[in-house]
Amino acid sequence: MKSLYIVCIMLCCTLSFSQTKNEKEERIKPSEFPEVARSHFNNISGKVKYLKFFKETDGDKQSFEAKFKYKRQHYSVEFDSLGKLEDIEIVIKEKDIPRATLENIEKYYDEHFKKVRLIKIQKQFVNITKRTDKQFINFILRKPNNKHTHFEIIAEIKTKKRRELRELTFDRHGNFEKSRLVTSSSYEHALY
C-alpha cells in the first residue's frame, strides 16, 4: 500500500511538471472578441493605452485576451471562449515580490534547478469574490496592489541534463503549484 502511495505521488509530480505551453496567439479585430467581454472595456478604453485584442489557442482550448497599458503597468485580461473572465495578470519586477514569498520561490529553484534566469514575472488575479467580471476588472484597475492569487513566472532553467524555458506558477505565498514547458512558438508573445 505504501509503495502505491509513493507511485501516485511521483505520477502527480511528473504530470504537473510535464505539461507543455504551446500557445498560438493572433491579433484580432475588436468585433471578433466576445461581445460580453469586449463590453467590459467600453468605459475604460479612453483611459488605457495600446488596447489590443487577441485570440489564443493552446491545444484544444481557445481563449481571448485583451492587453493594454494602464497607469504605467502592463495588463493582460483573459476570457474563455464564451467571454467569462479567467484571470487578470500584471507584469511586475522581481523587486515587487514580497521578500518572504521570493525566498520561498528561490528555495524551490535551488532545490530543483542548477540555474534559473527570470524572463517575465506576472502577478495573477482570479475572481474568487462575489463581484461580477466587470466589477472585478475595475476593482483591480483601481487597486492593482490588492491581494493577488498567484505569481506566473517564465524562466530559462538549467538542470544537469538540459536547458529549457518554463512557465512556473506559485501561489501568493511562493508555494509551487505547477510548471509547464514553453515552446519557442509561444515564447514570443509570452514576452508582451
Residue 41 is assigned to a structural domain of this protein: yes
pTM over cut 0.85: no
The mean pLDDT value of the chain amounts to 86
Whether residue 165 contacts residue 155, with contact meaning beta carbons closer than 8 Å, is answered with: yes
Determine the Cα–Cα distance for residues 97 and 18; give it in Å rounded to an integer. Answer: 26
Residue 11 is assigned to a structural domain of this protein: no
Q: Is the dihedral of CA 86, 150, 23, 191 positive or negative?
A: positive
Q: How many domains does the chain have?
A: 1
DSSP run (H or E) holding 172: none
Shortest CA distance to 43 belongs to which of 144, 129, 142, 131? 142
Residue 6 is assigned to a structural domain of this protein: no
Determine the Cα–Cα distance for residues 11 and 51; give it in Å rounded to an integer. Answer: 42
CATH of residue 95: 3.10.450.360
Determine the Cα–Cα distance for residues 109 and 94; give it in Å rounded to an integer. Answer: 14
The boundaries of the domain holding residue 158 are: 20-190
Q: What are the pLDDT digits (tens) for 155-185?
A: 999 988 899 999 999 999 999 999 999 886 5
How confident is the model at residue 160, as a pLDDT?
A: 87
Q: What are the pLDDT digits (tens) for 93-130?
A: 999 999 999 999 999 999 999 999 999 999 999 999 99
